[in-house]
Amino acid sequence: MASDASQAKLIDGTTLAASIREDVAQRIKSKQTASPRFQPQLAIVQVGERPDSTTYVRMKAKAAEQVGVKFRHVAVPVESSAEQIVKIVEDLNADDNVNGILVQLPLGDHITSAGERLVTEAVSPRKDVDGFHAYNIGHLSSRASDPLFAPCTPAAVMRLLKSTNTPISGANAVVLGRSDIVGSPVASLLRNADATVTQCHSRTKNIPDILKNADIVVAAIGKAEFVQGAWLKPGAVVIDVGINYVPDATKKSGQRLVGDVQFSAALNVASYITPVPGGVGPMTVAMLMENTYLAATRQWDESKNLKIKPLALNILDKVPSDIEISEAQIPKPIADVAHEIGIQANELENYGKYKAKVDLGILDRLAHRKDGKYIVVSGITPTPLGEGKSTTTIGLAQALGAELGRPSFACVRQPSQGPTFGIKGGAAGGGYSQVIPMDEFNLHLTGDIHAVTAANNLLAAALDARIYHEATQSDKALYSRLVPSKKGKREFAPLMFKRLKKLGIDKTDPNSLTPEEITRFARLDVDVETITWNRVLDTNDRYLRKITIGQNPTEGGLERVTGFDIAVASECMAILALTTGLQDMTERLGAMVVATSKQGEPVTADDIGVSGALAVLLKDAIKPNLMQTLQGTPVFVHAGPFANIAHGNSSIIADRVALKLAGTEEGDSSDRVGYVLTEGGFGADMGMEKFCNIKCRVSGLKPDATIIVATTRALKMHGGGPDVTPGKPLHDTYTKEDLVTLKEGCKNLKKHIENSRKFGVKVIVAINQFASDTEAELALVRDEALSAGADGAVVSNHWAKGGVGARDLAEAVIAICEGESDFKFLYDVKLPISEKIEIIGKEIYGADGIELSDLARQQIETYTRQGYNNLPICMAKTQYSFSHDPKLKNVPTGFTLPIRAVRLSAGAGFLYPILGEMQTMPGLGTRPGFWEVGLDKDTGRVVGLF
C-alpha cells in the first residue's frame, strides 16, 4: 500500500449502511411490482429481556421497517431450555412466511455452549441470515463452494473494504481474533478474495511485528484500544470491529465506546479507518437486511421453480402383471414428492415411506392462488371389464407431469376391499399407468374406509340402543339418565341444545322443562319400519344383505329385520367426499336422517347425540392421502363413495388441495398452470353428471373440460357385439377389425359427448388403445367423436407405454383447456323433486319420461314437507345402460324410467331415486380374486394381487 502522510480517511459505515438499506428497499419494491405477494420476513428469537439484547433487537426491527421487511419478534421466557428454543426455531423453519431466522445471543447463563450450538444449528441453513450455521460456515471455508449466507459482520467488513477501492487480491491481511462470529469468517472471506491472510489471537507472539507488514488490518480481538498506531504499516486500511467500554468521567453514563484500535494514533498512520461507533456496527444490521432479502428472493424463486423429478420406466414389450410392474419400480419417498409439489414438511403426516396425509391448513396457506385447470375423467357406457378410466387418469397425469413438465395431479377414489378380493379388482390403474405401491393403494391405505366403517356402525349401535332404552324406561327415568345430575348439578350436553332448538324449547336449565317438554325431548319415538340406516362392512358378503337383530333375550324381544351395506355405500363415505372442512363435516354428519318418528319427523344423528363422536372418528380421514404414479407424479387418493347410490367421485377437499398446488398467482408464467384430473365413476351419464350437478354445486368449482374414455371393445358391444363377461374369452368381434359394428356403437359415444356439452365444458375423447385395435378402427372412432362435437379426440396407449403413450392426449388437453370455463348446471335445485328427476331422465338418459311408484310419490311428498325438496338428485341405476335396464345397450329410446323409491341422504345433501333393484352389498362369486392373493414366504411381499 502506498504511504500517505495526510490523515486517514474515515470509512463512513453509517452512510454506506443507509445506501445499502435504500438499495434493499428498492429491490423489494421492484420485486413486489411484478409479484405483489412477495414479502420478506425476518424473525428474531430473543430469550429473556437483557437490555443489550433488547437494544440490538430494536435496532434490527427499525432497519426492517425502513427497508420493507416484515419483522417478527419471538419473545421466549428466560428460563426456557435449549430444547424448548429449538422447537420454536423448528416451527419458524416450517413457516413459509418466514424467510430469515436470527437467534439473539446470548441465550442465558443456564444454557451451555453446546446448548447454544444446538439452537443455532437448528436454524435451517436456507433461513440462516446470520450465517452462523455449520453448513454456511463450512461452505464459507471451502474454496470449492459458496455459502448461502455470509455472517453479517464479516460481510460488512468486506463491503467496507471494497468501498475504499483497496485491492484485496494479493494484499497482506492480518485478522486479529478467531471467534466463529467474526475472526474466522473474515479470514475465510479474505482468503476467498485472494488475500494472503495471517490470523492472530490472544496467544499469538510478536503481533506488532506481524502488523508491520499488513496492508489490511481487521481488529476483532475484543480488547479496548489494543492495537497501537505505531504497530501499523503506513497506508494500511484498518477495519475496527471492536466494541469496548472504557471509563470516561466526561460522559453522562460514566463510560465511552471504543474499538480495538487506538483510533487517534492510527488516524495518522492508516490510509483508511473505520470509526467506533459509526463503522462496522450499522453495516452489520444493513447486511442482515440484505441477507433477509436474498433469503426471501431465493425461497420465492424456489417455490416458483418446483419441478417433479420423474421416475424412469423400464418398458417391456410384453406387459407384465400390474403388481409385477408396481413392485419393479422403486417409489420416491413420499416426503420428496411432497417437497417437489410445494407441500411443506409441517403439512405432511407420513404413513410409512410411500403414503402420507396432507393437513387441511394448506388450503389457507395457498388461498391466494388461482386454481389450476380442472378436468373430470369419465367414459362411455362400460362393459363389465371397465374401459380404463383410472388407467387413463394416471397415464395422462404421467404424460403431463413426467413427459411435459407441467404441474399435474390425479385425484382418484380409494378402492374398497370388496372388489379387491372379489372379481373387479383394484382401482390403481393398470399396466404402466398405475398408482404405486399398488398393494398399499388397494388394501388398507391409511385406514379411511375403516374409520368410515367405525363411524357408520357407531351410529347404528346408538340408534338401536336408544330404541331399546326408550322401550324399557319411563319418561322420567329416561330423562334422568340422558341429563344426569353431577355433583348436584344437571347440565345439557352441548349437542342437546340442537334438539331443544329443533323442538322449539328455548330453555337452558334441565330442571325447568315441563313434563310435556321432557317427553318430547327424551323420546325420539322412532318408527322402526322407517329405519334406513344399515351397518356396513368393507367385504363382499351376500349373507349380510338381510339379517335379524335383537335375538338375544337381553334385548327384550325387540327384534327387527335389517342388513349390511358395503362400507363405501355408507352416507358417511359420501359426506367424506363432499365435505369442505371439519365443521362442515360435523354438521353434515349430524344432519344424517336415520329414520322417521311416529309423528312423521326426521330422526337425525344429532337427535341421537352422536355426531360429535362421528366427527372424531373421521377427523384424520378427512385429510387427503398423497401417493405417486409409476413415474413419480403426485396422486391424491381420497374417499370412495359408491358410484350407484352415491355420487361416485373422490373428495372435494383433495380436488381443492390439488387445484391450489397446481394454481398460479400474479406474475407467474403461463407454463406454470397445472392440471387436476379427477375421476368420476362409471360412464359420463353417472359419474360425470353427478360430478357436475352435485359435487360442483357443493364445491363451487368449475370444471374446464371432461375427458370421455372410449374403447373399441365397449363401442362394438353397443353396436351389437356379443356379451362381454368377466372370466370368459372375448368373441372375435372384439379382437378383429369390424368397422360396421364399431360405427353403430359410436352412437353411444356421441350421446355422451352431447350430454357433456350441455354442461358448457370442453369435451376431449381419449381412445384407450388395445393391442388388437386396427388403424382403421381407431381412425373411425376419432372421426365419429369429432363429428359429434368433441373438441378433441386422441388415441392413447398409456397402458403399454406409460406417460409417453399419453403424450399426444396431454398436448391436446393443454391446448383445448385454454381460456375460462363456461360451466353451467343442468337444472335448478329449487325445481320440484320429480321435475329434477325427469330432467336428468330426458336430457341425459334419453327417456320419454318417468313413472313414480306409489312409494316414491309418498316419499317425495314427505321430503318436500320436511324441507328436503331443494336438494340435488343422485340417480341410482345400472351403469351398463343409459336406461334402467342393463340389457338396453347403445342409445336406447322409447322407454320410461320407473322410479321405485326415492331415498334421502340429508347429510351428504342429495336425494337418490332408485331405478330397478340396486344391491348395496355385493356378493362373492364362485371364484373370487382372493384365491391368488398371498405373501411371498421369503420376502413377505404381496403376491397375486391382480
Q: Which residues are catalytic?
A: 60, 104, 130
Instruction: Report the C-alpha gap between 275 and 271 in whole angstroms.
Output: 13
Q: Judging by DSSP bridges, how do beta strands 705-710 and 373-379 pair with one another? A: parallel
Length of the chain measured in residues? 946
Distance CA 355, CA 876 (A): 33
Per-residue buried b or exposed e for 548-566, using 16+ beta carbons within 10 Å of the residue's own CB: eebeeeebeeeeeebebbb
Tell the residue number behind the cell numbers 371393445, with chain if given. 713
Ramachandran assignment for 479, one of left (phi > 0), alpha (psi -120 to 50 degrees), beta (any other): alpha
The secondary structure of 425-470 as a DSSP string is: ---SEETTEEEESHHHHHTTTTSHHHHHHHHHHHHHHHHHHHHHHH
The CA distance from 583 to 585, in Å, is: 5
**Distance linking the first and last C-alpha atoms of the chain:** 80
* Residue 795 phi, psi dihedral angles, 5° rounding: -80, 135
- Say how many C-beta atoms besides its own lie within 10 A of residue 929's C-beta: 19
Give SS3 for 239: strand
Strands (E), 83-222: 100-104, 172-176, 196-200, 216-219
The letter for the amino acid at 275 is P
Residues 6 or more apart in contact with residue 495 via CB below 8 angstroms? 590, 606, 609, 611, 612
The partner residues of 904 in beta bridges, in order of sequence, read 911
Pairing of strands 429-430, 433-436: antiparallel
CA atoms of 564 and 578, how far apart (whole Å): 23
Burial pattern 198-209, b for ≥16 Cβ within 10 A else e, equals: bbbeeeeeebee
Pairing of strands 196-200, 172-176: parallel
What DSSP letter does each residue of 57-120 carry, written as one string? HHHHHHHHHHHT-EEEEEEE-TT--HHHHHHHHHHHHH-TT--EEEEESP--TTS-HHHHHHHH
Q: Quickly list DSSP for 516-549.
A: HHHHHHH---B-GGG----EEESS--GGGSSEEE
Distance CA 244, CA 574 (A): 71
Backbone angles phi, psi at 710, to 5 degrees: -130, 145
| Residue 402 · residue 632 · CB < 8 Å | yes
**DSSP H/E element including 935:** strand 934-935
Helix residue ranges, H only, 6-50: 13-34
Give me the residues paired with residue 664 across strands.
370
CA-wise closest residue to 908 among 874, 942, 936? 874
Q: How far is the C-alpha of 404 from the C-alpha of 672, rounded, in Å?
A: 12
Beta strands at 910-914 and 901-905: parallel, antiparallel or unpaired? antiparallel
Q: How far apart are CA 702 and CA 779, in angstroms?
A: 32
Three-state DSSP at 360 gives coil
3-state secondary structure of 183: helix
3-state secondary structure 561-603: EECEEEHHHCHHHHHHHHCCCHHHHHHHHHHCEEEEECCCCEE
> Which residues are CB-contacts of 301 (< 8 A; sequence separation ≥ 6)?
none
